[in-house]
Chains A and B, each alone.
Chain A
Amino acid sequence: MSHLRPVPSDPPSDEGGSVGARLAELLKRASRGDEGAFAEFYDATSGRAFGLAVRVLRDRAQAEEVTQEAYLDCWRQAARFDAARGSALSWLLTIVHRKAVDRVRAAEAATRRDAAYGHREVGVSHDETSEAATASLEATRVRTALTDLTPHQRQAVELAFLGGYTHTEVATMLDLPLGTAKTRIRDGLIRLRDALGVGEVGMA
């Protein structure tokens, strides 16, 4: 049985592996009850966690609730985070995203389910988002990498991940045969991953 190798949690352009390692260390301290370490972890990650929740939920009050729940989960489960299997940031954001999507699906809010709204957002969302994002070099790098995707792949990835739609819904929204949407999401993620240099995770 093979094991997952450590994931490079920092972009190659970053100043070494310090950020990812520091977040992992903070979680480790948090698992022993160190609230100060967790506060530091929060300060280093909350912009991305909250921004993702807002993007999926389209509602700042709900996004705040979901983000808070996710951080409490992280605090509770910090001992179960394993740096050998992925970065602390992706661990946190995976939790935030799952919670946000589950909330959206449970609520089935009419405005949120308006397919036309989702369509309109495709392709413009990145230009509309906050000042904080514009300031981030990393965000610029990601936007550049996104141009490596075909327009169809990019739409599918964005509707699924940022929009929180199921692959079935994505297929309907993009007028695709059902099987095509999940393939397109996967192909888009592979291309984005490779463009960002995230590859070679745990293929040992």
Chain B
Amino acid sequence: MNEIHALSGAYAVDALDAAERAEFEQHLAVCADCRAEVASFHETTALLAETEAETPPASLRAGVLSGISQVRPLPPEATSPTVATVVRRRRAPQLLAAAAAVVLLAVGAVLWHPWQTTQRDDLAAQVLNAPDAVKIIEKVPGGHGELTLVRSASLNRAVLIGHDVPPAPSGKTYQMWLQQPGQSMVSAGLMPRADEATLLAGDAATASAAAVSVEPAGGSEHPTTDPVAVFPLPAGDTGNDGA
């Protein structure tokens, strides 16, 4: 039993931090034993919850039932075109196995992390574990927080994770940026939770820099404040797999 298997219990009870959780979910995609173990732990903790049962207020029932009347149930899960495209365009042979694992994970994701938009998160986990992943850490001003950028040129994607980064002030949000050589910063999406691995939108392989800034809720078209972190990205990685 290696180190990662030992995390199954803490994972099942949501006792991992964001980075450990992302790492373990990647492992789950390829480890049937851990999937089975986590499933059995979820059944176990469901029984443990029995000891805490408590009658909810009637307002909850009313809220749920009026809520669902305005929400359309999703169709059964299809495989992820986003992931499949990326995988196929890059390293076909090695990554086919990974693609199969991802599809399997997507199908099984209902059990492990139905609370997330699984395809984005699967891709984020792929980036974090890519063989060519490069990690850059920047300190955030004020306090001891830091932001870590992980980029995989072969996947053409980057992921940001914060450690001890304070939440954005009320009414503000963290926004991520990518800069292509010779151009200005372009939004790579919002980062509502600094402590969660967040996938940047855009071509990370060719970008010359990434940044994070504090913006009004909803985000901005261009950075309106000095970035809290800037990550210079090494040039020359064009995502051609370096082969």
Contacts and interface: CB of A to CB of B under 8 A. Distances in A.
B144 interface: no
B60 A64 contact: yes
Contacts of A201: 36-37, 39-40, 43
Contact of A48 (B53, B67, B193): B53
Given A47-B54, A201-B40, A77 B15 contact: no
Interface in B23-67: 32-33, 35-37, 39-57, 59-61, 63-65, 67
Nearest to A165: B15
A135 B59 CA distance: 23
Contacts of A43: 61
B156 to A, nearest CB: 27
Contacts of B206: none
Contacts of B16: 166-167
Nearest to B118: A80
Interface stretch (B74-82, B173-181, B218-226): B74-82
A50 B108 contact: no
Q: Among B9, B59, B193, which residue has the most Cβ atoms of chain A within 10 A?
A: B9
Contacts of B94: none
Contacts of A30: 73
Contacts of A101: 14
B104 A1 contact: yes
Contacts of B243: none
Interface in A155-169: 157, 160-162, 164-168
Interface residues of B, number: 64
B17 interface: yes
A138 B13 CA distance: 20
What is the interface of chain B mostly: helix, strand, loop, or mixed? Answer: helix
A130 interface: yes
Contact of A7 (B43, B48, B72, B100): B43
- With a 10 A CB-CB cut-off, give which of A11, A91, A142, A185 has the most chain B CB atoms: A185
Interface stretch (B85-93, B109-117, B135-143, B233-241): B109-117
A1 B56 CA distance: 42
B116 to A, nearest CB: 9
A84 B13 CA distance: 21
A24 interface: no
A103 B149 CA distance: 24
A99 B12 CA distance: 13
Contacts of B107: 82
A48 B52 contact: yes
Instruction: Say whether chain A's binding surface is mostly helix, strand, loop, or mixed.
Output: helix
A49 B32 CA distance: 28
Given A198-B44, A202-B32, 20 more contacts: A47-B55, A48-B52, A49-B56, A75-B68, A93-B42, A97-B45, A98-B113, A98-B115, A125-B52, A130-B54, A130-B55, A133-B51, A133-B53, A139-B50, A161-B45, A189-B9, A193-B40, A193-B43, A193-B44, A202-B39
Interface of A: 1-2, 4, 7-9, 11, 30-33, 35, 38-39, 42-43, 46-52, 54-55, 60, 64, 67-68, 70-73, 75-82, 85-87, 89-91, 93-95, 97-99, 101-102, 105-106, 125-126, 129-130, 132-133, 136, 138-139, 141-143, 157, 160-162, 164-168, 170, 181-183, 185-190, 192-193, 196, 198-203
27 contacts: A38-B65, A39-B65, A54-B52, A60-B57, A71-B64, A71-B68, A86-B39, A87-B46, A93-B42, A98-B14, A106-B193, A130-B55, A132-B53, A132-B55, A133-B51, A133-B54, A136-B53, A138-B47, A142-B50, A167-B16, A182-B6, A182-B10, A185-B13, A186-B6, A189-B13, A193-B43, A200-B40
Interface of B: 6-10, 12-17, 32-33, 35-37, 39-57, 59-61, 63-65, 67-69, 71-77, 100, 104, 107-111, 113-115, 167, 193, 195
**6 interchain residue pairs of minimum CB distance:** A186-B9, A51-B54, A50-B56, A202-B36, A201-B40, A90-B46
